[in-house]
Amino acid sequence: MPEKPTEEIESVAIRFTGDSGDGMQLTGTKFTESTALAGNDLATLPDYPAEIRAPTGTLAGVSGFQIHFSSHDIRTPADHPDVLVSFNPAALRANVEDVRPGGMVILNIDAFTEKALTRAGYTEDPLPALRDRFQLVEIPFTKLNRAALADLDLRSRDADRSKNFFALGMLYWLYNRPMEPTLRWLEGKFKGDVLEANARVLKAGHAFGETTETLPRSFVIPRAKIAPGHYRNITGNTALAWGIVAASQVFDQEVFLGAYPITPASEVLHEVSRYRHFGVKTFQAEDEIAAISSAIGASFAGSLGVCTTSGPGLVLKQEALGLAIMAELPLVVVNVQRAGPSTGMPTKVEQADLLNALYGRNSDSPVPVIAAATAGDCFGTTLEAFRLAVKYMTPVVMLSDSYLANSAEPWQIPDVASLGQERAPFATDPESFQPYSRDPETLARPWATPGTAGLEHRIGGLAKQDGTGNVSYDAKNNAHMHALRHEKVARIANEIPPTEVLGPDRGELLVVGWGSTQGAILSACIEAREDGQNVSNIHLRYLNPLPPDLGEVLARFDKVLVPELNLGQLSLLIRSQFLIDAKSLSKVEGQPFLVEELRAEIDAMLGLET
């Protein structure tokens, strides 16, 4: 058998889909690892079914994982997959309309029984019509997989569990990915028959690809030009968890994480719980209020207090967050946003808790708010939150979202030395100690922790006199303290680096983004610029305070567009602060922006027909 030809292509996006039980997340993850090691740039997006465990074979139970990889820069998992792998009719039905016209659709044809088609809601066989629109590749994965395992003593139900690895093997061949990382992983994870079965079908799938005439050629995606360095794949939640663990090292101080499980933030708690040997204590509280309260207590006692949650949990924490603001204690409150309102769609994305982070408390109670832009960026943004908290003696809200939480990207592993070594400036000297005295630069009050002789003092949520920290109902003092809390947060602006404008630094249109939309916005703007359009973009990490040069940057553009996965929250802040007619592009479908949606809006604002 002659070797089949290979074709070099620039990039490809593959979406693996099947029933929740079909192992799509694992398949996608393994493919991602191989791809990373093959040197491509990549982005991934898992798409779980909601919290519910749906009956097998129904639309509600479909699970998906998309990976986009390329020989050049990649910023999003791609609007439309080039390849769809579907393990059953429901997965096909839920996903096929997203596939790029003429794309490849690989089916486990064994699963396309009449019963399964009905269960998926098909009233007639969809394949004939699809054959006209896509390149259908129909493969009896179940049969082939069973055959590969025939001589092992496995029940067919057990055997069938590995059919995803058969398909994975085939796709490794198709895109010339290395099998070794997956084989190595299997060896670390399983023993005996299970190891044997999985390894065998992976190889069998690969061999099948090589052999079958259904696949006339394989594809090569050259290595991407990536900044030199040491890399790994990382999801936002892992990066966030590691940021928390790293804080214990950077500050050489114990970290205390109080958390109550909630989708999509729970994995941060899970991950951090594994690192007790770093001097990181985790506490699963009875609810979100206890979680933040315990973290406040820990901060008061001199640990780095942090709590992790999602939307409804943030709401519950707000009263206690107000206390931390009044008590001026360092604290990091992480909110991995999800789609609401109320319970909403807990597994889906929104970035709609910005105004809640800013205004979710009684009275004016300013708190710095920063947001991560990519999965990997969750690491650094978390560390930045700790740094601000300690330096300014203030709680800080750090925003991520469910898209960042679950999607993975290659991440250049930072040099630990580069993270710096900070040390909390604990007060120790009783001489003229005052609990509410001020650092003249940052306005921080001293961090005086229990156990320090001579610094005994009492704090609380009642209005306090500046300096002594005693309870005070004095009118002018109260106004002074309001102003002081406001000013303390405002001074953070002094440290915000100049806003980086991508594209011309003045012109017709500026696109302003924040958080997880960075990849899509960047792609859309780069593409638009490549098409000769006059559009620039900036992406904000600091939401409160806003960058000091922001007004000036905005003023250099005729029009401003603010795309957000909410009904216009940053847009409201920008309009109010700078009195410019910033236009909000909002999407609240529980899904990230497609590049094409952004491009359409950019075109519209530039007066171009689309």
- Choose from a copy of itself, ligand TPP, another protein, none: what does 301 bind? Cβ within 5-8 Å by kind: another protein
- Contact assessment for residue 246 and residue 379, using Cβ atoms and an 8 Å cutoff: yes
Find all residues with CB under 8 Å of 175, minimum gap 6, and list them: 12, 14, 35, 218, 219, 220, 221
Give residue 414's region: left, alpha or beta (phi > 0; psi -120 to 50): beta
- Choose from ligand TPP, a copy of itself, another protein, none: what does 36 bind? Cβ within 5-8 Å by kind: another protein
**Least distance in Å: CB of 271 to ligand TPP?**
17
Which CB atom, from 264 or from 568, has the smaller least distance to another protein? Answer: 264
- Choose from ligand TPP, another protein, a copy of itself, none: what does 269 bind? Cβ within 5-8 Å by kind: another protein
- Choose from a copy of itself, ligand TPP, another protein, none: what does 276 bind? Cβ within 5-8 Å by kind: another protein
**Least distance in Å: CB of 494 to another protein?**
29
Q: Token digits for 605?
A: 């604002």
Q: What is the spatial distance between Cα 84 and Cα 104, in angstroms, rounded to a whole number?
A: 6
Q: Write out the residues near ligand TPP by the rule CB under 6 A.
A: 260-262, 288, 312-313, 316
**Least distance in Å: CB of 586 to a copy of itself?**
9
461 binds a copy of itself (CB under 8 A): yes
Find all residues with CB under 8 Å of 83, minimum gap 6, and list them: 12, 13, 14, 15, 99, 103, 104, 105, 106
List 285, 315, 496, 606, residue binding a copy of itself (CB under 8 A): 315
* Interacting span for another protein (CB under 8 A) from 107-115, 131-139, 229-237, 475-483: 229-237
The answer to whether the peptide bond before residue 341 is cis (omega within 30 degrees of 0) is yes
Q: Token digits for 203?
A: 């190889």
**Least distance in Å: CB of 262 to ligand TPP?**
4
**Least distance in Å: CB of 272 to another protein?**
9
459 binds a copy of itself (CB under 8 A): no
Contact letters for another protein, residues 468-507 (x by CB under 8 A): --xx------------------------------------
325 binds a copy of itself (CB under 8 A): yes
294 binds another protein (CB under 8 A): yes
Size of interface with another protein, in residues (CB under 8 A): 95
Q: Which of 251, 363, 349, 234 is nearest to 302 (CA)?
A: 251
Q: What is the spatial distance between Cα 509 and Cα 601, in angstroms, rounded to a whole number?
A: 11
- Contact assessment for residue 595 and residue 382, using Cβ atoms and an 8 Å cutoff: no
* Interacting span for another protein (CB under 8 A) from 158-166, 200-208, 253-261, 548-556: 253-261
- Choose from another protein, a copy of itself, ligand TPP, none: what does 163 bind? Cβ within 5-8 Å by kind: none
Contact letters for a copy of itself, residues 50-69 (x by CB under 8 A): x-x-------x---------
**H-helix segments, 106-162:** 114-119, 127-133, 141-148, 156-160
Contact letters for another protein, residues 362-401 (x by CB under 8 A): ----------------------------------------
DSSP string of 290-312, one letter each residue = HHHHHHHHHHHTTSEEEEEE-HH
356 binds a copy of itself (CB under 8 A): yes
User: Site residues for another protein, window 407-436 (CB under 8 A)?
Assistant: 413-414, 416, 419
- Choose from a copy of itself, another protein, ligand TPP, none: what does 463 bind? Cβ within 5-8 Å by kind: a copy of itself
Q: Which of 481, 483, 461, 530 is nearest to 502 (CA)?
A: 530
116 binds another protein (CB under 8 A): no
Which CB atom, from 289 or from 496, has the smaller least distance to another protein? Answer: 289
Other Cβ atoms within 10 Å of 578 Cβ, number = 17
**Least distance in Å: CB of 79 to another protein?**
27
261 binds another protein (CB under 8 A): yes
- Choose from another protein, a copy of itself, ligand TPP, none: what does 341 bind? Cβ within 5-8 Å by kind: a copy of itself
Q: Token digits for 46?
A: 């898992």
345 binds another protein (CB under 8 A): no
Find all residues with CB under 8 Å of 508, minimum gap 6, and list them: 534, 535, 557, 558, 559, 606
Which CB atom, from 229 or from 425, has the smaller least distance to another protein? Answer: 229
Q: What is the spatial distance between Cα 533 and Cα 528, in angstroms, rounded to a whole number?
A: 5
Which CB atom, from 173 or from 260, has the smaller least distance to another protein? Answer: 260
CB nearest ligand TPP: which residue? 262
List 186, 269, 333, 602, residue binding another protein (CB under 8 A): 269
Q: What is the spatial distance between Cα 363 and Cα 322, in angstroms, rounded to a whole number?
A: 9
* Interacting span for a copy of itself (CB under 8 A) from 253-261, 324-332, 410-418, 534-542: 324-332
Q: What is the spatial distance between Cα 511 and Cα 468, in angstroms, rounded to a whole number?
A: 47
363 binds a copy of itself (CB under 8 A): yes
In DSSP terms, 535 is beta-bridged to 509
* Distance of alpha carbon 557 from the chain centroid: 30
Which CB atom, from 229 or from 460, has the smaller least distance to a copy of itself? Answer: 460
Q: What is the spatial distance between Cα 16 and Cα 63, in angstroms, rounded to a whole number?
A: 8
List 432, 579, 607, 609, residue binding a copy of itself (CB under 8 A): 579
Q: What is the spatial distance between Cα 119 and Cα 59, in angstroms, rounded to a whole number?
A: 8
Longest CA span, the chain: 91
Please give the C-alpha separations between residue 576 and each of 565, 573, 580, 593, in angstroms, as whole numbers. 19, 5, 8, 25
447 binds another protein (CB under 8 A): no
- Residue 256 CB-half CA count within 13 A: 20
Which CB atom, from 241 or from 602, has the smaller least distance to another protein? Answer: 241
Q: Token digits for 159?
A: 């055997």
- How deeply is 506 buried, as exposed, middle or buried, from its count of CB atoms within 10 A (0-12, 13-18, 19+)? middle
User: Site residues for a copy of itself, window 587-606 (CB under 8 A)?
Assistant: 587-591
Which CB atom, from 73 or from 596, has the smaller least distance to another protein? Answer: 73
Residue 135: phi, psi to the nearest 5? -90, 95
Task: Catalog residues that contact a copy of itself under the rule CB under 8 A.
Answer: 50, 52, 60, 310-312, 314-316, 318-319, 322-323, 325-327, 337, 339-345, 348, 350, 352-353, 355-356, 358-365, 460-463, 471, 473, 475-476, 478-479, 482, 485-486, 566-567, 569, 572-573, 575-577, 579-581, 587-591
